[in-house]
Structure 1
């Protein structure tokens, strides 16, 4: 596709130059009144299936429709990716939902990063080694010879206690300290009475392993299966296709998806630096427009385009995994134990359920988990959570992009929230593995509801 884009661009440039004497590359695509301040863009991503909106916006020409010429570049890890956005090497990137928030509050790198686009819902899983799975199975109810799902961490607790009694650390992998995976794994473990440990940045301890029953550490997503196979870790939380890869390789068993931990949880976002967004507001809006169209394409007609998306994502420049592995989850199914494939049509959601809208309440959930596990060391007021969310999540930019697409007839108004009444806060929900109700307008009350975790004036 890149070669086609280059050829198309050369032809269009020549045509415009001949007609007007000016090589205005974006003119054939841009709206009659607005042109992108910056047309040549480089976006970063990690090799995961949820980078799909970027790949589809590129391959289907949605970026070019907005007068944008984009290069997509895989990054080595989440830190390198974030640094690239902050220092300007990248114009924007596929990011963990917690990354712009973590940067804003200064956990790790301090920087002003914003998001105006949520890339997807769900898409992660927790996988354990074959040996751990065999030990867990004794604690899991069975029905018709198969485990009853969702599987709670209660089944893992006796296994971890056995390791502790033998003086062995129980190591697990997650992808980044402010990643969805870290918080989902911690949530699942804590719901089963397993303490995943605390951070104490004020004391210089950012291991996240203080008082931990299970020791969580960072492993880059593509390396998860090999690290599990080597016995360095006994389980991990990661996005696809790296849970299904463990099944295909016969080295591990996914025990639960994040859809079962928190139904329709936000997963990745598209992040840019605040300075970049302020310098290139029209460009930013056009990027969001292209991504909205890509997300719609991925979900339209009941996922009818997913088979084509799988082939695109399997290319080495994108995810680079076997198409069969990617298809296992992208086409509405998920395989747990080998041969135990179940229908989960919403395992990967890119557009429906207002998946692309950047809700303040989603941001606040991540901030509550940062506080719960010590990444936010001190108590904060409810207003602090709300203001921090509003500084980072930008539904105003999203709304402007969506309204333009509606006016252009490319999407329907019914596909979006009612912008006239939308507050940015979802209705309270208890669709979590432990049944606890989350209300984004009352973050401190939410924190108080947990047995394990910091709350109120607690400190580590």
Structure 2
């Protein structure tokens, strides 16, 4: 306890010194004391929680005068409830969670994000049995290995056979508003397999209306065991649970989300709007620590990844075998056993402005909620923008980033040009179905899909 108290005294001296330097013009903008120093942060056991683990282990939180406890949560609902009721001060979240809570889907709460945690990082895995049935439908390279990306076209004859025989084709995803749900649906629909609609206005939140493939929730660490038991025939999940299926020889990852949508946004760091309002300095300092952690994870061409894998392998973080985590975190991905291919951007934590909370990212999630019926009624384009501005907070991010630049901890080139940035990525073209996404025109985007709700459609 004495050492902890001494540490806090030293930290306060450092903060005071920083404030004095700021007053003398050494820093562009003074950072105030953290209004709340002791924080409890939650996460799910996935490799993309890495910025939180690194900020803790590398002392970035303590540099900000924050004394953080990091706790694994049982599932995404428990995690979200913990942030809402104040048991947790913030958490590693599915990007769809703050958005869904804000519009009142599932639960109603004002959750915001000042920080996007990563790009990519997910995969879709099928059982060995299903893989054997898919293989005849997949083109092969000269060396006999499958041509990637593998589209759901190869799965469609398998699903059609299940339907003809009157058997349900069950698949797992981690949460109804997860990236995994929308990516799995996107991949299936692009191959002509209907993943089903939601109809909350009719009290149906199963997501299985008109479905060819029946999707249901399975917590990430339970995915491999559920697949092995035969309860599901495939799943979409983050790492290391696709690679775990390969190591256990129970399934084959057929496609990564990088191949479904190159450099897609994944998790976010979520806090309540009330927390950000009550503790503005703490919020900025939290964001600073996470930005530094993300930079550390990607710098020098991922040179720090082996050390990061050792940290994540600890039982208090992901708790999986080093080799399983390293399979994807160090720039490779193993599909069928022995078919390991370079995927240097499978996990991106900082480059490509991965940490910036783009409005267009939030709008994409909203379009998928509408596409599959979680948003029951048509919404004008302006509504999508209003929700994005309410949830995604680049203003907080900018304050954190500019203070890091002022302290020469980071360079202006590490970030978007804040003077010209409008919160929208350029049109995105790298989707598995070649459909172009422009976040400024959500309804026009929705009109391009053969499967899914569009303006004027009702269930």
Does TM-score exceed 0.5, indicating one fold?
yes
TM score, norm. by length of structure 1: 0.96
Q: Which residue of 2 aligns with 1:72?
A: 70
Give 1:48-447 correspondences, 5 Å limit. Answer: 48-143=46-141, 144-447=143-446
The answer to whether the 8 Å contact 1:198/1:211 transfers is yes
- 2:430 and 2:292 map into 1 onto residues whose CA distance is 29
Stretches of structure 1 lacking an aligned partner (at least 5 in a row): 1-5, 17-24
CA offset digits 1:182-219 (Å, max 9, x no partner):
00000000000000000000000000000000000000
Q: CA deviation at 1:28?
A: 3.0
Are 1:45 and 2:31 matched, yes or no? no
- 2:12 and 2:256 map into 1 onto residues whose CA distance is 42
Q: 34, 37, 42: which is aligned to 1:36?
A: 34
SS at the partner of 1:138?
helix
The answer to whether the 8 Å contact 1:48/1:239 transfers is yes
- 2:362 and 2:170 map into 1 onto residues whose CA distance is 28
The CA RMSD over aligned residues, in Å, is 1.0
CA offset digits 1:346-401 (Å, max 9, x no partner):
00000000000000000000000000000000000000000110000000000000
SS at the partner of 1:208?
strand
The answer to whether the 8 Å contact 1:29/1:64 transfers is no
Report how many aligned residue pairs link the two structures. 446
CA offset digits 1:307-366 (Å, max 9, x no partner):
000000000000000010000000000000000000000000000000000000000000
Q: CA deviation at 1:103?
A: 0.4
- 1:8 and 1:153 map into 2 onto residues whose CA distance is 57
SS at the partner of 2:40?
strand
SS at the partner of 2:115?
strand
Stretches of structure 2 lacking an aligned partner (at least 5 in a row): 20-29
Change in Cα spacing, 1:415 to 1:7, as seen in structure 2 (3 Å) is farther
SS at the partner of 2:401?
helix
Q: CA deviation at 1:27?
A: 3.9
TM score, norm. by length of structure 2: 0.96
- 1:326 and 1:378 map into 2 onto residues whose CA distance is 41
Q: Which residue of 1 aligns with 2:25?
A: none
Q: CA deviation at 1:430?
A: 1.3
Q: Which residue of 2 aligns with 1:11?
A: 6
Q: CA deviation at 1:286?
A: 0.3
Q: CA deviation at 1:429?
A: 1.4
Q: Which residue of 2 aligns with 1:19?
A: none
SS at the partner of 1:352?
coil
Q: CA deviation at 1:8?
A: 5.3
- 2:2 and 2:161 map into 1 onto residues whose CA distance is 62
SS at the partner of 2:333?
strand
CA offset digits 1:146-189 (Å, max 9, x no partner):
00000000000000001111110000000000000000000000
The answer to whether the 8 Å contact 2:15/2:33 transfers is no
Q: CA deviation at 1:125?
A: 0.1
- 2:190 and 2:15 map into 1 onto residues whose CA distance is 51
- 1:303 and 1:399 map into 2 onto residues whose CA distance is 25
Q: CA deviation at 1:439?
A: 0.3
Q: CA deviation at 1:29?
A: 4.6
The answer to whether the 8 Å contact 1:427/1:439 transfers is yes
Change in Cα spacing, 1:415 to 1:131, as seen in structure 2 (3 Å) is same
